[in-house]
Structure 1
Amino acid sequence: MGLHDKISNSTEKGLGSAKEEAGKLLGDSQLEQEGRMDQVSAEAKQAGEKIKDAAAEAGENIKHAAQKLKNGFTK
């Protein structure tokens, strides 16, 4: 996950939390719900980025393992 994505997702989650709290204080259930939805959206994006990072790392590990096997057979 890139730094920009981390900052963006953290900001979205923080703003969602603030929106939720403002909704609670003002008695505005729609604003409160929007805040919760913003937080869930940010968390989903974070999870997606983590999955993408893990897949890229797994791909690199497979690539390195294949290279080691190839080098072992050519000796």
Structure 2
Amino acid sequence: MEAVRKSDIVLANMEASNPGGYSLALEVGFANALGKRIFMVDQIEDPTVRRYFEMVRQCSERVFLKLGDALDHLLSLD
């Protein structure tokens, strides 16, 4: 959590292989409470699991489907 506290931007990468994403959701919520800029990579394909991450997506300034696209976007920021 200290890394989130020290950062200006948080990149949340929800990989399809992540079994639950509970830690990711906690970190995104913490970052949101601190007013951090949040970007998310959402690779969840299972619609049953996907619906539980809508709040995390809503906390994100932008959601990407691929990590490479998110990294390119971050590099383009001023």
Q: Which entry has the higher C-alpha Rg, 1 or 2? A: 1
Of Structure 1 and Structure 2, which has the larger fraction of its residues in helix? 1
Does the TM-score normalized on the shorter chain lie above 0.5? no
TM-score by length of 1: 0.31
